[in-house]
Structure 1
């Protein structure tokens, strides 16, 4: 059983979150913690010139609120938002926060992704902890 389970959530694939949460609850040790994490990619410099909103001021709160909704209002689930490259930041967050299992989703990709989604494959390669891949 795992004490700290991290579930990365891509909001455009949130339909698989309920399955990931069910799986996490089965794998979670008594008194354990589940964290939902969304990684927002940084806006390129040439684009930020034309955008008035700062990502940390506006979008982060909206995404956090969306994660809480996806969590079904379960107040025991931690919801976090970070910025950067998802394949890197998910593994880094896990390492920095004593996560012992990352439960990542993967769509049905093409052969160019080696039969695993590109973010999922990056997490599997970089994570220092166990990674459980759930297919959608």
Structure 2
């Protein structure tokens, strides 16, 4: 059983959240905890000149609200939003938080990703803890 399970939630893969939470709850130690994490990629400088929206002011709060909704009031689940490259930030967050399992989703991969999605593949290579890859049943 795992004490701290990290579940990265990509905005375009939200359909996997319920399935990942179900699996995490089966793998979680009695006194364990789960963290839902979304990594928002930084906007390149050349694009930010044309965008008035500040990510930290609007998008971060909306994403946190969606993560809390997915947690459905479960007190064992915390929700975090960070910025950066997902494959790097997920592994770094897991190490800093003392995570012992990352439960990452993967679907619709191409051959270049060795049958994993690109973010899942990067997390598997970088993580210092165990990684459980949940395959989308549609992919």
Q: Tell me whether the two structures share a fold, i.e. TM-score over 0.5.
A: yes
Q: Which residue of 2 aligns with 1:93?
A: 93
Counterparts of 1:19-34 in structure 2 under 5 Å?
A: 19-34=19-34
Q: Which residue of 1 aligns with 2:112?
A: 112
Task: Give the structure-2-normalised TM-score.
Answer: 0.94
Q: Distance in 2 between matches of 1:48 and 1:4?
A: 36
RMSD: 0.9
| Aligned residue-pair number | 136
**CA drift at 1:128:** 0.2
Q: Which residue of 1 aligns with 2:55?
A: 55
1:49-83, Cα deviation, whole Å (9 max, x unpaired)? 11122111111111100111122232431010000
Gaps in structure 2 of 5+ consecutive residues? none
Q: Distance in 2 between matches of 1:5 and 1:74?
A: 14
Q: Distance in 1 between matches of 2:60 and 2:108?
A: 28
1:83-111, Cα deviation, whole Å (9 max, x unpaired)? 00000000000001000000000003111
- C-alpha contact 1:88 1:126 (8 A) present in aligned 2: yes
Gaps in structure 1 of 5+ consecutive residues? none
Task: Give the structure-1-normalised TM-score.
Answer: 0.96
